[in-house]
A and B are shown apart, each in its own frame.
Chain A
């Protein structure tokens, strides 16, 4: 079983939960930028072992399925067709052998996930099939997909509800994307950062009141924020220490940088805040030119929201599994 890449799209790569546990070696986590969307795509095809899916960025790839397959699309609202037939998102869809799935542009959001039943079965590197584009770790030395790449699909037992057929066939139900795909542009919860109190007064106010613009110069490593420059009361000489996804750094240019999935493991810029983990997928879905603003939050609130989201996600994933089992 395999999938051939006919057109790669703008930046498509294999992603899973990432490779935690290796930061002391200088190896970051990488992994899906929108974790819940990746998890739900897997759930919709009946994958339960954290299988790798394709993360598409702004424009998706065209893929030929050499054998019949079961797929699901989640995340950013992406146009998808097999022949003339549109493929709905947030549901499960059967594709016959030889199907060419054409993913196009995104009307909302910037990252969509394509999961296939059985997962993309490439060799794991340090326990993960994620492509770390920056560190060049993962399948194909962590590079983005190119035309001509062939991705093997893992074996999976067949589910009655997902019997492979000769026609393109979505299931008659889908999940409500609303809680999982937020394009309202609401403020991101910002926790205190080590050096946030060293911002001058105007900058402290800007950080929490102003609207920043997501720079074109953003990628899986970081979102760069344009529109306002922030300043420390006095310059600060820091020695490098560990950094994390979600860390909001202030380089000498004064333009804040929010670190994302491929955050470097160490850094020496002042940390002016930490974006709540639950809001990182929302930031990952913003497009260049989109507004980004922050609101003050606390660690307690962030932990509560994270636990609540994990609970909701777990319940939904269980419900999907039952539905697939008994459909």
Chain B
């Protein structure tokens, strides 16, 4: 598992593990598996997964044997040892179903996106809900999931003029990715729908509805269900 990982010391307290240079579900699954195993075996590290890399942040004074860049080498040895173990942690990713009200005021770009893809709006919704997605990483804003697995036919360029205020819960397509805005944020992705679920609440445990590695499906709902779910969301 560990043989083809590139290590790079990014900063005094940071070591980056590179698994590849592509955006790819399989590659990202290796990142998530490594993160899960390192969190279990070396819980003193902070693990930050991205598409094809994993950042480790650590306290250099607790990994140093000598002066110099020794702490990074010590940590790299420990990481190699943990990732080289033959036992596999059977990580079963969680599956989350995200209800989405597509189109209308909730997804103001749906018609444009459908036209761009050469699809009827209904066909676009069918394809968007048919796919299984993986959360590659959270970033951009607290709880914002970058989702892999978008049907390639639904890829659409970002908006030329980004919005200053994208409503919280907006489900959007940007390039070949799809994501969900957890809060009111500026953003340039195309808005196709909105979920009534609250994706991030700093006071909730856990604060984020989604975590890197999760499997995600979208389920189309109507406006009445949207309002009911929005009122009932315990988060």
Contacts and interface: CB of A to CB of B under 8 A. Distances in A.
Interface string B11-23: 1111010100111
A318 to B, nearest CB: 17
B172 interface: no
Contact of A307 (B14, B61, B142, B203): B61
Contacts of B23: 239
B11 A274 contact: yes
A22 B207 CA distance: 10
Given A26-B138, A191-B11, A265 B46 contact: no
Nearest to A24: B48
B47 A24 contact: yes
A302 B12 contact: yes
Contacts of B34: none
Given A125-B202, A191-B11, A242-B55, A26 B140 contact: yes
A277 B11 contact: yes
A189 B202 CA distance: 36
Contacts of A137: 142, 202
A124 to B, nearest CB: 10
Given A126-B207, A241-B50, A300-B68, A26 B57 contact: no
Interface in A258-311: 264-266, 271, 274, 276-277, 298-300, 302-304, 306-307, 310
A247 B8 CA distance: 14
A302 B68 CA distance: 9
A26 B144 contact: yes
Given A24-B138, A25-B138, A126-B207, A240 B50 contact: yes
A126 B10 CA distance: 25
B178 to A, nearest CB: 15
A213 B66 CA distance: 37
Interface string A19-57: 011111111000000000000000000000000000000
A248 B16 CA distance: 16
B51 interface: yes
A26 B12 contact: no
11 contacts: A23-B48, A24-B138, A24-B211, A25-B143, A25-B211, A126-B207, A194-B8, A241-B18, A265-B138, A303-B12, A304-B68
A303 B208 CA distance: 34
Nearest to A298: B69
Contacts of B68: 299-300, 303-304
A244 interface: yes
Interface of B: 8-14, 16, 18, 21-23, 35, 46-53, 55, 57, 60-61, 64, 67-69, 71-72, 137-144, 146, 183, 200, 202-203, 206-208, 211-212
Nearest to B20: A239
A304 B206 CA distance: 37
Given A24-B47, A25-B142, A136 B183 contact: yes
A324 interface: no
Contacts of B12: 276-277, 299, 302-303, 306
Contact of A241 (B52, B144, B207): B52
Nearest to A192: B9
B60 A303 contact: yes
A135 interface: yes
A244 B55 CA distance: 10
A302 B35 CA distance: 27
A65 to B, nearest CB: 29
A241 to B, nearest CB: 4
Given A26-B141, A300-B68, A306-B12, A266 B50 contact: yes
A8 interface: no
Interface in A184-217: 191, 194
A194 to B, nearest CB: 6
Contact of A20 (B46, B51, B139): B46
B31 to A, nearest CB: 10
Contact of A265 (B47, B48, B53, B60): B48
Contact of A26 (B51, B72, B139): B139
A303 B212 CA distance: 31
Contacts of A246: 11
Contacts of B49: 24
